[in-house]
Structures are given as C-alpha cells and as structure tokens.
C-alpha cells in the first residue's frame, strides 16, 4: 500500500544526501562520503526521531573519535595489534549500548578513525576532520527534517488521541448494548488493542517533550498529559466493563433503564471525543444527568460496569 508519509521520508532522505554531497564537494573534503552516510543514518520519518538520532550521532561521534585517536597513539601500527584494538574497543562500545544508544554510533566512528587514520601524519587533525565531516551530515539532515515538510510527532499524537477517543466511544456503545441485551458475553479481546495503543502514548509524549517541544513550543501548548490520562482511565473502564459482562452466567436479566443506559453510553462517548478535541462547548448539557445515572449504576450490583467519562 502506498504511504505518502514514507514517500515524503524517501524524498527528504535523498535530498539530505544530495545536499550533504554538494556541500562536501564544494568544500573539497577528503572523506566527504562519511558526511553523506551520516545524513542518511540520521534522517528519520518524524522530527522528534531525527533530532534524537542527531544527538546520538553527534555525541557518539565525539566519543568514538576520541577513543580512536587514543588507540592509534597507544598501539603498535601492525595488523595484529590493530585487530586486537578493534576487538576490545568495538566490543566495549557494543556492551555500553545496553545503557546508552549513542555508543553504537561511537563504535562506527571508532572503526572509521582506526581503519583509515593509522598512517595519518597528524592523528589529531585526522580525528577532528572526521568529526567535522560527520557533523556536516548531521546538520544537513537536521535542517531538512525541520524545514522541509516536517512530520511532527506532536501532530501525530493529536490525531492519535482523537482517533482513540472515537474508538472508546464506539466500544462503549457496543458494551452498553450487550449489557442491556440480557448481559451478553463479549470477546475478551474487544478492547485489548485499544488499551495497548493508549499506553503507547506515554512513550510518544516523552519523545516530544525531550526533542520536539524545544523547537515547536507553540505546538506543545495543549495539555497532552491530561488527555492521555483521561484515555488511560477510559480504556481501563472499558476493560472492566468487558470483565463484568463476561463474569455473568445464565440468561441474564431484563434492564428496566435500558434506554437511559444506552443514552448514557452515547453521551459519555460524545463528551470524551469533544473533550479530547478541546471542544468543551459541544458537550451535552444532559451529561450531568447522565453522570448521576452512572453513580446510581455504580451503587447497583453491576458496580464494575462504568463508562469512559
């Protein structure tokens, strides 16, 4: 299936590589291809991910370059000792990726410096040159990611929360209908995907806070933490409703207030969607009456059957 998002990512990655190649050619950099490679590595679909990769690549490059320079000064310039040095340093960096992802980038730069700089006249200048080239690629990728048709995680999160609110509303109506229809059992997995997707919002929000919020501060004004918390509680309520329905045996009972319960489900769902959309003015005036009904239901024998809002 064609994806416009990934098509744009392909274009931006290619453009970043071309931009980096053009600049390194104009500057006549000896190892300019490392800059082009870096631009391709750093470029990600979303701005937050690109910024994260820029930081990892930059910090990893500095660490790797310093280690590479130290190794070349310390070891004998023979294939045997170079192999031993690569084994030890690359193994160390790979082990440290367990704690920080930047050490993977450090290992890459380390290999570049050791493999190509062993016989350099001035190893310090050689190491700085590799850092400069790689940073050139990082800067080009960063500029393209931020300035050319940026795909922001904050926009994705906003659409994601609105879609999840709609799903909550739909599931609530389904469960309410099952409840009033003599407490029919439902699929245990009815809301599992929703619960999982809602919890993934925390990780997305954390990436936005760490990276995108510094650049797109105005885009971050919405209270995403509150919205995510509301959706978390809503998803948990729906899961409790599933468990309550499936815990009942027998033919079930006729519900006298079936119409009111169905209306409560609909109004609760609408209120949740409007709340996530920041459209509080559209929330029905009947919701307060519906909440009173919900409290009554909480005090009934079906106290686990609660609605999203």
List Cα–Cα distances, 282 to 192, 270, 275, 299, in angstroms.
29, 9, 9, 29
Residues 309/280, Cβ–Cβ less than 8 Å: no
Predicted model pTM: 0.70
d(C-alpha 174, C-alpha 308), whole Å = 13
Q: Which residues are within 8 A (CB) of 63 and not within 5 positions of it... i.e. 6 or more apart?
A: 102, 103, 106, 109
d(C-alpha 38, C-alpha 31), whole Å = 12
Q: What is the pLDDT along the chain (309 residues), one digit of tens a residue?
A: 667 888 899 999 999 999 999 999 999 888 888 899 989 988 998 888 888 888 888 888 888 888 888 888 888 777 888 888 889 888 888 888 877 777 788 888 888 888 877 777 788 888 888 889 889 999 999 999 989 988 888 888 889 999 999 999 999 899 888 888 888 888 888 888 998 999 999 888 888 888 777 676 655 556 888 899 989 999 998 998 888 888 877 777 777 777 877 887 888 888 888 888 877 665 555 556 556 655 555 555 454 555 555
What are the φ and ψ backbone dihedral angles of 185, each rounded to 5 degrees? -70, 150
């Amino acid at each position: 299936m064609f994806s416009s998002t990934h098509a744009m990512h392909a274009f931006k990655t290619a453009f970043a590589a071309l931009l980096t190649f053009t600049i390194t050619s104009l500057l006549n950099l000896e190892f300019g291809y490392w800059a082009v490679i870096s631009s391709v590595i750093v470029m990600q679909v979303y701005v937050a991910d690109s910024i994260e990769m820029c930081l990892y690549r930059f910090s990893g490059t500095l660490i790797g370059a310093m280690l590479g320079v130290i190794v070349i000064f310390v070891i004998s310039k023979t294939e045997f000792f170079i192999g031993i040095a690569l084994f030890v340093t690359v193994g160390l960096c790979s082990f440290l990726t367990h704690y920080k992802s930047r050490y993977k980038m450090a290992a890459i730069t380390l290999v570049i410096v050791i493999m190509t700089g062993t016989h350099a006249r001035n190893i310090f200048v050689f190491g700085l040159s590799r850092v400069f080239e790689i940073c050139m690629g990082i800067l080009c990728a960063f500029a393209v990611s931020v300035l050319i048709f940026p795909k922001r995680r904050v926009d994705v999160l906003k659409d994601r929360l609105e879609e999840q609110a709609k799903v909550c509303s739909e599931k609530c109506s389904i469960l309410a209908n099952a409840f009033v229809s003599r407490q029919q059992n439902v699929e245990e997995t009815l809301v599992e995907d929703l619960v999982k997707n809602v919890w993934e919002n925390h990780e997305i929000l954390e990436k936005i806070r760490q990276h995108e919020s510094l650049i797109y501060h105005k885009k971050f004004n919405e209270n995403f933490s509150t919205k995510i918390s509301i959706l978390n509680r809503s998803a948990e309520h729906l899961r409790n409703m599933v468990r309550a329905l499936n815990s009942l045996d027998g033919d079930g009972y006729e519900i006298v207030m079936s119409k009111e319960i169905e209306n409560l489900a609909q109004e609760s769902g609408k209120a949740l969607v409007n709340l996530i959309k920041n459209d509080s003015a559209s929330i029905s005036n009947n919701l307060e009456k519906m909440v009173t009904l919900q409290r009554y239901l909480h005090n009934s024998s079906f106290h686990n059957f609660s609605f999203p809002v």
